[in-house]
Amino acid sequence: MYTKGKKQLKFDRSFLLRKMEESTKKLLLRKEESAEEVDELPLIKRTWKESKMLWVVAAPAIFTRFSTFGIHVTGQAFVGHIGSKELAAYAIVFTVLMRFANGILLGMSSALSTLCGQAYGAKRYFMMGVYLQRSWIVLNFTCLLLLPLFFFTSPILKVLGQEESIADVAGTVSLWSIPVIFAYAMSFTCQTFLQSQSKNILISFLAAFSISIHIFLSWLLTIRYKLGLPGAMISTIVAYWIPNIGQFIFVTCGWCRETWHGFSFLAFKDLWPIVKLSVSSGAMLCLELWYNTILVLLTGSLKNAEIEVDALSICLNIIGWAMMISFGFLAAASVRVANELGRGNAKAAKFSIAVTVLTSSTVGLLLFLFFLFYRERLAYIFTANEQVAAAVGDLSPLLAFSILLNSVQPVLSGVAVGAGWQSLVAYVNLGCYYLIGIPVGVILSRFLQLQVKGIWIGMIFGTLVQTIILIILTCKTDWDEQVMLTRSRVNKFSVHDQETGTN
């Protein structure tokens, strides 16, 4: 009986594989026919069609990132009304600790963008819900590993030399921030899942609703009822969790019928490939997101550091807002490239990259001219100190060039995410940022006495080298080969999942 069962299982498996090969051939034939139809369109129409698909992902992604960034800025503004000690503690926790956690979780969630984007393009919709659940497991386990940093924030800061009173308040803020890191895990994964299907309009509405509630609750709890720091943190937690609840309901309650088939024990199987891709994705994006933090730390040890750090913080605040646009294009690039590779259309993937880079760099060029023209006049939005404003004006050319460069580099990182190159790009980032950019910046600032300009020039140089390498890598890539690799990855997971009866 057992032998007969094994033979029957082997027969079913071979039959299933044969059926899958036949369906794959038919699907590829349809893809080739549709690709030929698209290629026959005039260039302007092809560009217009691709631009519409690009902005369907990019526009909501940009708006959502602006709103999420606004939650942090709004929270900081209301905490500033509580007291200077509370503001300093809040700034330390959110600019160092939360940025550290954010970088890890955002980077690891980009692995889901690769898997879901390629699966959606290949029309293997049933796999996407399993990928989402696997990412939930991996990212929430990562949050648990990060908890000791939040429990022991106060003693860690004291060891590092932070003032005792500020360190104690920072310890309180970090404990209140624990629900926020778990909110990150849920938010990043659900957003990626929906973006891969171009269903992210909902994310924008939830983000707008969230920041509106945050502003109202912050005023109500901190200004009206004088609840102090707990009131501000409660408002922040609610603001981060409102979109998660909405996205979870949207995903699991019938609005994603093709891609969500309910909770499955398959989520606990084959976690190791997800872990490996998530770790390499996390390393890739963390190395980018922490780069500017290093810039601030290096500047703090220079002469006349107070003016320099104030001016630099204003510039980095402006870059932070501009980067929300770039991250929107990063999301769009990863989705479009992954979708087209999943469909088996190498030409469309290459054309998508060209349109996305051109669009993002055009936006970057406009911002470059704007910041180059207004220079120190923008600084008075953030400060009344003329010395700081003059320092900002002096740094404006570097600010403008950084924004221009950052309009191209994140798009190429998005291409890497869409194609699944995270491990390779992590090594590129490590070499360009930390073995080239930072050492050059230190040499220019300390030995050539260029101060903060030297550090910033070094950092820009590292980003420039990384961008050039990614451009060469993208241009030299055999995209037909990438289609084959994508098909192999998708089929590998599809065979396993279908064998276990989840289709």
Q: Which helix (H) or strand (E) covers residue 57, if one does?
A: helix 43-80
What pLDDT was estimated at residue 277? 81
pLDDT digits (tens, 9 = 90+) for 55-109: 999 999 899 888 888 888 888 888 888 887 888 888 888 878 888 888 889 888 8
What pLDDT was estimated at residue 1? 43
Q: Which residues of the chain have pLDDT under 70?
A: 1-40, 292-293, 295-309, 382-383, 492-503
Taking the C-alpha atoms of residue 356 and residue 334, their distance in angstroms, rounded to an integer, is 10
DSSP alpha helix (H) spans, 81-218: 84-92, 98-121, 126-151, 153-159, 164-176, 178-195, 201-218
Question: CA 474 → CA 219, 270, 479, distances in Å?
Answer: 48, 30, 9
DSSP alpha helix (H) spans, 265-385: 271-289, 291-299, 305-343, 346-374
Whether 338 contacts 202, CB under 8 Å: no
Query: Residue ranges per domain, the chain?
Result: 62-272, 290-492
What is the sign, positive or negative, of the torsion defined by CA atoms of 479, 483, 486, 488? negative
What pLDDT was estimated at residue 305? 54
Task: Tell me the two tokens of residue 121.
Answer: 């393009």
Task: Tell me the two tokens of residue 138.
Answer: 């991996």
What pLDDT was estimated at residue 38? 52
Q: Specify the pTM.
A: 0.83
What pLDDT was estimated at residue 270? 76
